Amino acid sequence: MTRKYFGTDGIRGKANTHPMTAELALKLGIAAGRYFRKGDHVPRVVIGKDTRRSGYMLENALTAGFTSVGMDVYLLGPVPTPAVGMLTRSMRADLGVMISASHNPHYDNGIKFFGPDGFKLSDEAEAEIEVMLDSDLALAQPENIGRAHRIVEAGGRYQEFAKTTFPRRASLDGLKIVVDCAHGAAYKVAPSVLWELGAEVIPLGVTPNGFNINDGCGSTHTDLAARQVVAEGADLGICLDGDADRVMIIDEKGQVADGDQIMALIAGRWAAEGKLAHGTLVATVMSNLGLERHLSGQGLTLLRTAVGDRYVVEAMREGGYNLGGEQSGHIVMSDHVTTGDGLISALQFLAAMVETGKPASELASVFETVPQMLKNVRYEAGKTPLDAASVKAAIQDGEAQLANTGRLLIRKSGTEPLIRVMGEAEDETLLERVIDSIVAAVESAA
C-alpha cells in the first residue's frame, strides 16, 4: 500500500507548511484515534515533544483530534524519543506520539507514532491511517470526549529507567564528561543522569529557546563539544541530537566515534559475555565496510537493512537479534529500549571505560574504516533527479570504475528533499572522482 504522508521516520516537513500544519495534525489525531479505538475501552495516548516552538502548535492540534474521538491524552512535555516508547509501554497506553524532526533545524518538525508495545508503527498501519485521513470519521458524543492530562514527572521516570541500564555497582566518579544536548529534548535528563551516576558534568546545548535546537551543536555538529573536551581536559564527550535518539562520542583527544565504532565496541563486549543474540549485529547499507570486516574477523555477522532505524528494528524483531543501529548514531538495544537511545548508548560506552580502565581513545577506534565519502544534493519538490538518463549513466560509470574495490549507494533521503551520494573504496582519489562526477550529474538534473 503506497504511503502519501509517512516517510521512513513518521511525517516530516517545514513547520506550518503542508503537511506539518495544525490542520493536518488535527486530522491525524482523529484518524489515529479512530484506528486505535476499539470497543468500549477508553484508549490512552501519550504525547512527547522536543523543544521546537512549533511543537506547541502540533501538540495542541493532536490533542484536540485525539480527544474529539474519545481518547484520553497524557502530555509528557519535552522528553527524548526513546522515553516516549518506554512510557507508552509502561503506562499501558494504546498509542505513543513523538513530535520532533530529530537532527533537523528548528523550522522543520515531524510526528511519529509508537504502538502499545513501544515500537514504531509498521508501514502497513501507517498506510491504513493515511486512508482514514481522507475519510469522514465519526466523532465522539459530547459525554465521551476524551480528557487531557499533563504528566509532570515524565522526564524523571525516564531518568530512573536510564540509570538501570548502567552496571549497578559501577560509578562515574572521577570522570569529567562534556554532554551536548543540542538544545533539545534531553537538555535536562542527560546531564542529570550523568551527575547522579557520579560524573563531573560540563553541559552544552541546555538552554533551548524554541529556535536553537541542533543549531551548530549536537550529534551533527560535533566541533563545539570536541573543542570543549580538549579545553576542559575531559575524559569523554557525548553529543546527542534534538530528540536524543542518536549519539556521537568524542574521545579525550577530541576525535569523533560514530555509530559504527560504538556498535562495534558494544557487539564485541556483548559477544564476549555471551549476550549478543545469534552473534549478529543489525545495521544499514550505510555502515562502513570496515565494520563488516571487523565483525567477520571475530566470527560475528553483520546483517544489513535499508536505511532507517525502523527497518533495523524490524529486522531485529524478525530475527530475534538484540543489537542494531546506524552509522549516524541511532543504536537500538532491544534488551533495554524499543528504538534508538543516545543516552543509554553513551552509558554502555561509559560502562566499558569504567570496567576496563581504558581511556575513550582506546575504545572509540575499534576497527579501521574503509575510506567513505557522502555528499548530499538538495532538490526541488516534484523533481526526480535519479530518473534522469544522465544520472543513471554517471552511476553506471562510477560502478564500473570502482568494480570490485568499493561500492556505491545512491538514494533519496526519507526525511529531507536530498539525494544522498555515498561511496566506499580503498583508493580515496578514485572515490572522490567518482562521487564528484555523480554529484555533478545529480545537481544538473535537480
Q: Are strands 406-412 and 256-257 parallel, antiparallel or unpaired?
A: unpaired
Is 102 one of the catalytic residues?
A: yes
Alpha helix stretches (DSSP H) within 117-258: 123-133, 154-164, 189-196, 223-232
What does DSSP assign to residue 382? T
Cell numbers linked to 398: 562510477
Look at residue 324 and give its three-state secondary structure.
Answer: strand
Q: Count other Cβ atoms within 10 Å, centred on residue 445.
A: 20
What does DSSP assign to residue 171? -
Query: Cell 509508537 maps to which residue?
Result: 114
Q: Count other Cβ atoms within 10 Å, centred on residue 213.
A: 32
Distance set, CA 257 to CA 296, 328, 392 (Å): 20, 10, 34
Query: Cell 516530516 maps to which residue?
Result: 12
Which residues, including other chains, have CB under 8 Å from residue 229's CB and lie 6 or more apart?
Answer: 178, 236, 237, 250, 251, 252, 254
Preceding amide of 19 cis, omega within 30: yes
Residue 152 burial class via C-beta count within 10 angstroms: exposed 0-12, middle 13-18, buried 19 and up: exposed
Selected catalytic residue, list 68, 102, 334, 345: 102
What does DSSP assign to residue 7? B
Cα pseudo-dihedral 81, 82, 85, 88, rounded to 10:
-80
Q: Are strands 247-250 and 256-257 parallel, antiparallel or unpaired?
A: antiparallel
Which residue numbers are catalytic?
102
